[in-house]
Amino acid sequence: MALTSPDRAGGTFLRPLLSTLRFIATHPVSSRRPLAGFWRYGRWQIESRLRPEVEFTWIEGSKLIVRNGMAGATGNIYCGLHEFSDMAFLLHLLRPDDLFIDVGANVGSYSVLASAVCGACAIAVEPDPDTMRSLRRNIEANGIGHRVAFVEAALGATPGTARFTVGLDTTNRIAPPGDAGTREVRVKTLDEIARGQHPVLVKLDVEGHEAMVLEGGRDTLRHPSLLAVQVETAGEAVRDHLESAGFRRSVYAPFARKLSLLTDQGPAGSPNSLFVRDLDTCRRRVATATARNVLGRRI
C-alpha cells in the first residue's frame, strides 16, 4: 500500500537518509526505542550489501526474505510493522481459516502476516512476474504454501489484458497509453479470483485503480462474510462502491484495540483507508484477538 518509502532512491543521499531516520523515530513501535531502530537500519545497510538477499525472523517466528531496494519490506525490519495500524488491524481481525484477499501483494508482507501468524488462508494477487517470484519465496520460507493461492494477474472491472509498468517496486501499476518500459499482463476480476469463496478481509494496493477492482467485485462486496476492506486510495468512486455495499470509513488504534468511525476520530492515523461494514463484529474480534510480539511490544 502507500508507503513512506524509506529506501527509495531519489534526490541527494541525505534526503532519503533523513526520511528513513524520521520514519523510524516517529513510528508507533520504534519511537519508544529509536536507537534500536537506527541500529537495525545500520545492520540492514551492511547485510544487504554483503548478501544478495537476507532472511530475517519477523512477527511470531514468521520470516521475510528481503533484498536491497524492497522499500515496502525494509520498514518491517526497522519498525516491526511498516504500515502499523493497517497491519495491526489485520493481525487482530483475522482468525484461523478465514480468507484474506491480498490484491497487489508485492513480496507478500500482508499475506505472511495473515497465513503464517494468524493461520488464515490467503489469495495473493500480483501481476509482476519478478515480484511474484519474491512473493513465492516468502510463502515457501514460511511453509504456508498450502494456505496461500497465487494469482499472477492484475485486477480490473472486466477480464482481459493491460500494460503494466516495470521496475517501480511498490508503485508498479497499470500504465496509461504511451508509457515506455511496460509489459502486458492478464487482467482478472475480484469475483473471478474469489470463485465463490468468501473473504473476511480484502486489501487493495493497486496505485489508484481501486475503483476498477471494486467494479469487478460486486458479488464479493455484497457477501456478508466480508467485514472490512483496506484501500490505498479512497476517491469518490471508491467510497461510492464501498458505501453502497454498507461499508463505512473507520480508523483503528492498535494499542487501545479501538475501532471507530472516522467521523468520531478526525483525521485517520494511516495514509491508507479502512472501510468496515459490521462494526460490532469487528470490534469483538479485535478486542479478543491474541496479542502479538512486535519488537518486544505486545500489540
Task: Say what the pLDDT of residue 119 is.
Answer: 98
Same domain? 131 vs 224:
yes
State whether residue 152 is helix, strand or coil. coil
- Single out the residue in 34, 57, 82 at which a domain terminates: 82
Q: Structurally, how many domains does the chain consist of?
A: 2
Q: Of 44, 59, 82, which one is at a domain's C-terminal end?
A: 82
Query: Within a domain: residue 298?
Result: no
CA-to-CA distance for 173 and 215, rounded, in angstroms?
A: 17
List alpha helices for 109-217, DSSP H. 109-112, 129-141, 190-194, 210-215
User: Which SS3 state, helix, strand or coil, does residue 36 take?
Assistant: helix
CATH value at residue 93 = 3.40.50.150
Whole-structure pTM value = 0.89
User: Do the domain assignments include residue 296?
Assistant: no
Could you say which of 53, 82, 111 is where a domain stops? 82
Whether residue 101 lies inside any domain: the answer is: yes
Is there a single domain that holds both residue 197 and residue 143? yes
Q: How far apart are CA 259 and CA 249, in angstroms?
A: 11
pLDDT of residue 5: 47
Span 3-36, pLDDT tens digits: 444 554 445 668 888 999 999 999 999 999 999 9
pLDDT per residue as tens digits for the range 166-221? 655 555 556 555 666 677 889 999 999 999 899 999 999 998 889 999 999 999 99
Answer yes or no: do 138 and 190 share one domain: yes
How do beta strands 293-294 and 297-298 pair? antiparallel
Match 496509461 to its residue by C-alpha cell.
Answer: 176
